[in-house]
Amino acid sequence: SQQGEEDPQALSIQEGENATMNCSYKTSINNLQWYRQNSGRGLVHLILIRSNEREKHSGRLRVTLDTSKKSSSLLITASRAADTASYFCATDPTPSGGSNYKLTFGKGTLLTVNP
Amino acid sequence: KAGVTQTPRYLIKTRGQQVTLSCSPISGHRSVSWYQQTPGQGLQFLFEYFSETQRNKGNFPGRFSGRQFSNSRSEMNVSTLELGDSALYLCASSSSPGGRYEQYFGPGTRLTVT
């Protein structure tokens, strides 16, 4: 089953606008990561935020993490047509016992940025 | 550093056949994870290898298997292919097992089963 769930499933905006995507998860985590996937290609790592961090920036990306609500958001500012892609959140769950932790991906948000 | 490479990039097979996919991780990375991506199920974790040992396995039938060599290159094998195995198979390498650090993905192998 999916640990992370992105919302919305699809988002269409105009170039220059900001895009916000949300991710909710179920169990406690060590970190949460965001990835981007251009159509039919491999995923590209965007940003990693640890459970003791609340906000992180990287260029035009801003990620927040609220562990009390088990949610994260990814904000892309001043979007460009090249930002058109699917965006996935992935969680590294805190192991309940043993060491079989693994990164678990949500189903993604498809972002379309219209020129 | 060279990125993660996967071969072949595209593959067409017939039901009942078997297939082997290959993944070469980033130099120095000892963790290789495999994922299956389909439109309906999204990204599903198959298994992870670290230093030649399978340390985690997803919920897939025994027809899906893998291995990792001493140079960290990994292969996955699917036997007795079914139509539902048509998917994009992605491998990812990392410097640490599990999800402690970012994973670097290859371009994927697009498998079509007819």
pLDDT: which is higher, B78 or B2: B78
Identify the pLDDT of residue A2. Answer: 52
Q: Taking CB atoms and an 8 Å limit, are B92 and A43 in contact across chains?
A: yes
Contact state of A104 with B92 under an 8 Å Cβ cutoff: no
- Residues of chain A with pLDDT > 90: what percent? 71
Average pLDDT of the residues in A91-112: 78
pLDDT (0 to 100) of residue A7:
87
> Looking at chain B, which residue has its C-alpha nearest residue A38?
B107
Per-residue pLDDT at B12 exceeds 90: yes
The pLDDT score that the predictor gives to residue B98 is 76
**Residue A95's pLDDT band (cuts 50, 70, 90):** low
Q: Which residues contact B35 (CB under 8 A, 6 or more apart)?
A: A105, B43, B44, B45, B46, B89, B90, B91, B92
Identify the band that residue A93 occupies on the pLDDT scale cut at 50, 70 and 90.
confident
* CA–CA distance, A25 with B96 (Å, rounded to integer): 23
**φ and ψ at residue A86, rounded to 5 degrees:** -95, 140
Cβ neighbours of A105 in B, within 8 Å: 35, 42-43, 45
B45·A41 Cβ contact <8 A: no
pLDDT at A1: 47
Which residues from B are below 8 Å from A42, CB to CB?
4, 90, 105-108
pLDDT, position B82: 98
Using alpha carbons, list the distances in angstroms from residue B73 to B21, B26, B89, B93, B114. 11, 9, 15, 10, 28
- Backbone angle region of A51, left / alpha / beta, with phi > 0 → left and psi within -120 to 50 → alpha: alpha
Task: Say which DSSP state A67 is in.
Answer: T
Q: Which DSSP state fits A9?
A: S
Band (pLDDT 50/70/90 cuts) for residue B97 is confident
Q: pLDDT for A3-53, tens place per residue?
A: 678 889 999 999 999 999 999 999 889 899 999 999 878 899 999 999 999
Which amino acid does the sequence have at B39? P
**Which tops the pLDDT comparison, B16 or A29?**
B16
In tens, the pLDDT along B23-50 reads 999 999 999 999 999 988 889 999 999 9
In 3-state terms chain B splits into helix, strand, coil percentages (rounded to 5) of 5, 55, 45
With 60 as the cut, is the pLDDT of residue A99 above it?
no
Q: Chain B residues with CB inside 8 Å of A30's CB?
A: 99-100
